[in-house]
A and B are shown apart, each in its own frame.
Chain A
Amino acid sequence: GDSVTQMEGPVTLSEEAFLTINCTYTATGYPSLFWYVQYPGEGLQLLLKATKADDKGSNKGFEATYRKETTSFHLEKGSVQVSDSAVYFCALSDLDSNYQLIWGAGTKLIIKP
């Protein structure tokens, strides 16, 4: 079945550092890909999405490009802030599974001032 693998955390960076969180997927169909974020004490929020190959999702300075050839959807940000500290989840959904979200394990990001 479909699956998502993302890099284990925690990832600890200094403020203004460059961020990459790797995410790869396995899917039989043509999934849509998502990054969700969970800030401390809050619920899950959609950060960005991409629905087809070569699409780039972006939001709040974060970007991720749907790479079908490498089955990847890596999350990047050029200059992180302390307020970006959160847990980031990569996920996919497709029609074959009623668009249920299939999740990566989550990556905890810690940004130090």
Chain B
Amino acid sequence: GAGVSQSPSNKVTEKGKDVELRCDPISGHTALYWYRQSLGQGLEFLIYFQGNSAPDKSGLPSDRFSAERTGGSVSTLTIQRTQQEDSAVYLCASSPLGAGLSYEQYFGPGTRLTVT
């Protein structure tokens, strides 16, 4: 079946612009995670969605970052007023996560964001 997909695969933007990154999780997976992979910080958790519950936003680095998940499926990560330190690969993962189900996370290919 189809895996996790992300778009765009690459995004170059000017400092101060807003960007939207999209994630399509595996169908039926209730949990969705966003991570960031950067040279200086390694892999960092950003935000977690599970079903209709309130998201866990504890990893978002600033209030310029926000995310939503519509209909329990597609998610969009928005970065407002981008800064150069936002340059990184943004990874999305989904998981079946639930009683009796696996909690393994399956990753998308990532969106490479470059802020100039």
* A, B from the same assembly: yes
Query: Contact residues of A with B, CB < 8 Å?
Result: 32, 42-46, 49, 89, 91, 93, 98-106
In the complex, how many residue pairs between chain A and chain B have their CB atoms under 8 Å apart?
46
Please report the C-alpha to C-alpha distance between residue A99 and residue B45 in the assembled complex, in whole angstroms: 11
Residues of B close to A100: CB separation below 8 A: 33, 45, 48, 56, 59
B50 touches A98 (CB 8 A): yes
- Chain A, residue nearest B104 (CB): A46
CA distance A49 to B105 in the complex (A): 11
78-98 of chain B: CB within 8 A of chain A = 91, 93, 95, 97
**A-contacting residues of B (Cβ < 8 Å)?**
31, 33, 35, 42-45, 48, 50, 56, 59, 91, 93, 95, 97, 103-110
A104 contacts which chain B residues (CB < 8 A)?
42
Please indicate the chain A residues that have their CB under 8 angstroms from the CB of B104 in the complex: 46, 49
Residues of A within 8 A of B33 (CB): 100-101
Closest residue of chain B to A42 (Cβ to Cβ) is B109
Nearest residue in A to B97 (C-beta to C-beta)? A99
A103: chain B residues at CB < 8 Å are 42-44
Residue of B nearest to A91 (CB): B43
Check A44/B107 contact, CB under 8 A, given A89-B43, A106-B42: yes
For the complex with contacts A99-B31, A100-B56, A101-B45, 12 further pairs of A-B residues with Cβ separation under 8 Å are A42-B109, A43-B91, A43-B109, A44-B107, A93-B103, A93-B105, A98-B48, A99-B105, A100-B45, A101-B35, A106-B42, A106-B43
Q: In the bound complex, do residue B56 and residue A98 qualify as a contact, i.e. CB atoms below 8 Å apart?
A: yes
Which A-chain residue is minimally distant from B6 (CB atoms)? A43
The answer on a CB contact under 8 Å between A43 and B31 is no
Cross-chain contact B107 with A45 (CB below 8 angstroms): yes
Chain B positions within 8 Å of A46 at CB level: 104-106
Q: Which of A93, A100, A102 has the most CB of B within 10 A?
A: A100
